[in-house]
Amino acid sequence: MTPETKLPKVGTTIFTVMSQLAAEHRAVNLGQGFPDFAVPERLIDELDRAMRDGFNQYAPAHGLPQLREAIAEKSERCYGHRPDVNAEITVTSGASEAIFDAVHALVRPGDEVIVLDPCYDCYEPAIDLAGGVAVHVPLDPVTFAPDWEKVSAAISPRTRLLMINTPHNPSGAMLGQDDIAQLTALLRGTGIFLLSDEVYEHIVFDGARHESILRHKELRERALVISSFGKTYHCTGWKVGYCVAPPAMTAEFRKVHQYNTFCTFAPAQSAFAAMIRAEPEHYEQLGAFYQAKRDRFREQLLTTKLKPLPVPGGYFQLVDYSDVSDLDDAAFCRWLTTEHGVAAIPLSPFYETPPAGQRLARLCFAKNEATLDEAIARLLKL
C-alpha cells in the first residue's frame, strides 16, 4: 500500500543529495554546513567525564538544570536578559527540533505563517504538518534585507506566526537596529507570535552586534528564540539546541517537545554546561575565528571566475557564477560537483519562487585551510 503523502512538495533534502553526490565523486564538500575541524578539547573531556560520572540515562525533559542555568547566565552576559531557568528555557535535540516544536505549539489548521525567502528548508514542512499555510515574502535578491512594507502587506487576520533568521542562512545577512524598530512597530498591537532562528548568533563580523530578540523586551514577550550548540561548538552531529520563550509559550512548546523527543542526549548537556562557564571566550571569540576564514576564502575566490557576495555573519559564502555558466543553480551545482570536484548548494530550494535568472550558489567556509585550499585549486580551473 502507498500512503497519501502529507508532504507533497518534499523530497530528499538538498543537503543530503549534494553530500551524497560529493562522496560519490570524491568532491571537496563545501555544500552541507558542517565544520571539518576539531571540537574544543575541553568539550570532549567534559563529555567523557559526564559519561564516566553516570550521565547516561534520560535527562530531565526540559534539560539538565545546570545547563539551563548556564544558558540563563550566558543570555544575561550576551544580551542583558536572564530568562527564568525553570519556566523559559527548554533544551532540545538540535535547533531543527526546536523549530518543529515551536511551529506545532502555536500553529493551528488554517493559520498563516510568514516566512522570508530564501529560508531554511525545514520551516515550511513543519508548517504544512501543523496544518498551517506558509506565506512567502521575498527578501531583496541582492542584499537579502527584508522589505517590511511587503511583510506588512502579507499580514492577514489569519496570520499566527512570523519566522525570522539572523544571521541569515543562506546569505549571512543580519538584521540591524532599524530592522528591529520596524519589526517591533509592525507587530505591536497584534496577536502575531515571532520565531527567531538565531543559530549563528555568535558568528558575526566586522564589529557588528547580533540583534538577538532577547535584547528587546517588547519583541521577546511574543517570541521563541532558538539557538544551536552544534553551530557554536563545531559539533553539529551532537544535535543539541535550545529554545527561550516566555512561560506561557514555553508551556505549549514543552507539550510538543515531550512527545517528540522527550529529552536530549544527557552527557552532552553536562559537557555544554561546563564548557559555557569555563570558556566563555570560545563563543566571544567565535566571530573573529570565522572572520579570518571568511576573509582568506574571499581573497582566494577573487582569483577565480566566481564573484563572492558580502558575508556579514554565519559561515556561508554566496558566489555569483554568471561568468562561468548559464545553467540554473541546481544544474550548476551538480555539474560543479561531478565535473570539477567541489560540492555547493543551490539557492532555489530555499525559495518558493526563485528570482528569475538568479545565478548564485552557497559555499561553506567552516573548513580547515587545507580543505578550502584544495577547493580553490579546483575552482581556478573553471
Q: What is the pTM of this model?
A: 0.96
Res 297: pLDDT: 98
Got the DSSP string for 1-67? --PPPS-TT--S-HHHHHHHHHHHTT-EE-SS----SPPPHHHHHHHHHHHHTT--SPPPTT--HHH
Q: Both 231 and 292 in a single domain?
A: no
Asked if 110 and 66 sit in the same domain, the reply is: yes
Which of these three, 233, 265, 282, is where a domain ends? 282
pLDDT at 363: 98
Lookup: cell for 87: 519556566
Say if 9 falls within a structural domain.
Answer: no
Q: What is the pLDDT of residue 164?
A: 98
* Nearby residues of 253 by Cβ (< 8 Å), 6 or more positions away: 90, 101, 102, 105, 224, 243, 245
CA atoms of 321 and 8, how far apart (whole Å):
31
CB-CB contact of 175 with 211 (8 Å): yes
Domain boundary among 259, 282, 305: 282
Q: Are residues 187 and 117 in the same domain?
A: yes
Residue 277 CB partners (closer than 8 Å, separation 6+): 70, 73
CA distances for 239 relative to 225, 230, 327, angstroms: 17, 6, 35
From the list 313, 290, 287, the residue with the least C-alpha distance to 368 is 290
Among 94, 163, 104, 156, CA closest to 129? 104
Q: Which three cell numbers stand for residue 239?
A: 544535535
**For residue 152, is it within any domain?**
yes
Considering only the C-alpha atoms of the chain, give the largest distance between any 2 of them, rounded to a whole number of Å: 58
Q: Which residues of 317-329 are buried (b: 16+ CB within 10 A; e: fewer)?
A: bbbbbeebeeeeb
Residue 13: predicted pLDDT: 84
Same domain membership, residue 290 and residue 268: no
3-class SS letters over 315-361:
CEEEEECCCCCCCCHHHHHHHHHHHHCEECEECHHHCCCCCCCCCEE
DSSP characters for 184-195? HHHHTTS--EEE
Q: Please count the residues of the chain.
A: 382
pLDDT at 18: 85
Please indicate, yes or no, if residue 372 is contained in any of the structural domains. yes
Same domain, yes or no: 180 and 309: no
Per the structure, how many domains does the chain have?
2
* pLDDT at residue 17, as a whole number: 86
So what's the pLDDT on residue 50?
A: 98
Q: Range of 237's domain? A: 41-282
Q: Which three cell numbers stand for residue 143?
A: 542584499
Residue 164 lies in a domain: yes
List CB contacts of 313: < 8 A, sequence separation 6 or more. Answer: 166, 167, 168, 172, 173, 174, 200, 203, 204, 205, 208, 210, 287
**Contact (Cβ atoms closer than 8 angstroms) between residue 331 and residue 255:** no
Averaged in consecutive runs of 10 residues, what is the pLDDT profile of the chain (382 residues)?
Answer: 87 86 92 92 98 96 98 98 98 98 98 97 96 98 97 98 98 98 98 98 98 98 98 97 98 98 97 98 98 98 98 98 96 96 95 95 97 98 96
User: Considering only CA atoms, which of 374, 342, 358, 349 is closest in space to residue 309?
Assistant: 358
> Residue 156 maps to which CATH number?
3.40.640.10
Q: Is 34 in the same domain as 83?
A: no
335 with 347, same domain: the answer is yes
C-alpha span between 169 and 225 (Å, rounded): 16
Question: Is the Cβ–Cβ distance between 344 and 298 less than 8 Å?
Answer: no
Q: At what angle do helices 266-278 and 65-79 cross, to 10 degrees?
A: 40
291 contacts 206 by C-beta, under 8 angstroms: yes
Residue recorded with cell 499580514:
155
Q: Residues 64, 270: contact at Cβ < 8 Å?
A: yes
- Domain check: are 77 and 127 in the same one? yes
Domain stops at, among 282, 299, 315? 282
Q: Residue 38: its pLDDT value, please?
A: 93
Please check whether residue 246 is in contact with residue 196, taking contact to mean a CB–CB distance below 8 angstroms: no
Separation CA 192–CA 159 (nearest Å) = 7
